């Protein structure tokens, strides 16, 4: 009886003991504690990705956060493959047109815009904050068009200021503009018209691969199905297979440019 009582007491003590916390398997900065981030930086995780994504219309078939979902996935994959990188919270407030009168994507319900100078200030102080903590390679990647110039300008400004220091900002423009996705789609039988420039087969395919729940299949139609739908291209031709290949090309392109930029330091 005594032995059983002792064993029960030992089991209760074990159950009451605090569990040993394990750092989560994540590369997202906001999913870590500050002490976990400090330890990672001390152990060589000194690259951080700052991803930007427009909150904008994507036709009647695709959610306003399309760019956020795509770039979050891509940034995670890039960070994991680099092996020494984290991903800052995605910036989803970017230039999308004027407010008064509404222009660009601001003509459609739900879009959110930030004037260029405010977007650049947001980028600047994001980078300055990360540099304070010991990140030495700050990578700007944008999944939409209106944020490219601001990222380029801020990276040039900070690199000029920090020329004698150890921190650099790298604008990875090839991820968005020179990734080979359109050429590959054409090799598969698509046309410039079906690919389109916004919310067509290319863009829809990429979100279909990552988050198909954010596609309204019954709304996918050439040109969006009606005049001024916001769609350029034919989302009815989209497929998850197209999307998987397209995102992989973007990831590979970004990794190549990041390694070139960091290697050239």
pLDDT tens digits along 196-232:
999 999 999 999 999 999 999 999 999 999 999 999 9
CA 164 to chain centre: 30
Choice among 10-24, 157-171, 228-242 with the minimum mean pLDDT: 10-24
* Contact call for residues 249 and 206 (beta carbons, < 8 A): no
The pLDDT assigned to 5 comes to 61
pTM (predicted TM-score): 0.90
Helix, strand, or coil (residue 1)? coil
For range 142-160, the mean pLDDT: 96
* Cis peptide leading into residue 101 (ω within 30°): yes
Strands 47-52 and 137-142 turn out to be parallel
The pLDDT assigned to 1 comes to 46
- Report how far residue 130's alpha carbon sits from residue 134's, in angstroms, rounded to the nearest whole number: 7
For range 143-160, the mean pLDDT: 96
Helix, strand, or coil (residue 8)? helix
Is a pLDDT exceeding 70 seen at residue 150? yes
26-263 CATH fold: Rossmann fold (3.40.50)
Confidence of residue 265 (pLDDT cuts 50, 70, 90): confident
Q: Mean pLDDT, the chain, as a whole number?
A: 93
DSSP E strand stretches across 112-254 = 137-142, 168-171
The pLDDT assigned to 264 comes to 81
For range 165-176, the mean pLDDT: 97
């Amino acid at each position: 009886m005594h032995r059983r009582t002792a064993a029960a007491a030992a089991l209760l003590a074990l159950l009451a003991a605090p569990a040993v916390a394990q750092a989560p398997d994540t590369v997202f900065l906001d999913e870590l504690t500050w002490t976990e981030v400090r330890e990672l930086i001390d152990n060589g995780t000194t690259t951080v990705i700052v991803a930007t994504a427009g909150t904008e219309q994507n036709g009647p078939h695709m959610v306003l956060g399309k760019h956020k979902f795509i770039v979050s996935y891509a940034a995670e994959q890039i960070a994991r493959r680099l092996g020494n990188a984290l991903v800052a919270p995605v910036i989803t407030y970017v230039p999308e047109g004027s407010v008064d009168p509404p222009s660009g994507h601001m003509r459609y319900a739900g879009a959110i815009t930030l004037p260029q100078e405010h977007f650049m200030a947001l980028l600047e102080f994001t980078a300055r904050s990360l540099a304070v903590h010991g990140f030495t390679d700050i990578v700007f990647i944008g999944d939409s068009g209106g944020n490219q110039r601001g990222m380029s300008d801020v990276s040039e400004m900070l690199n000029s200021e920090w020329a004698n220091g150890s921190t650099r900002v790298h604008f990875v423009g090839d991820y968005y503009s020179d990734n080979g996705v359109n050429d590959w789609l054409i090799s598969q039988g698509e046309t410039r018209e079906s690919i389109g420039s916004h919310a067509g087969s290319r863009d829809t395919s990429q979100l279909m691969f990552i988050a198909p729940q954010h596609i309204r299949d019954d709304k996918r139609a050439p040109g969006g199905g009606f005049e001024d739908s916001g769609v350029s291209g034919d989302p009815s031709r989209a497929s998850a297979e197209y999307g998987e290949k397209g995102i992989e090309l973007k990831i590979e392109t970004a990794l190549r440019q990041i390694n070139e930029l960091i290697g050239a330091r």
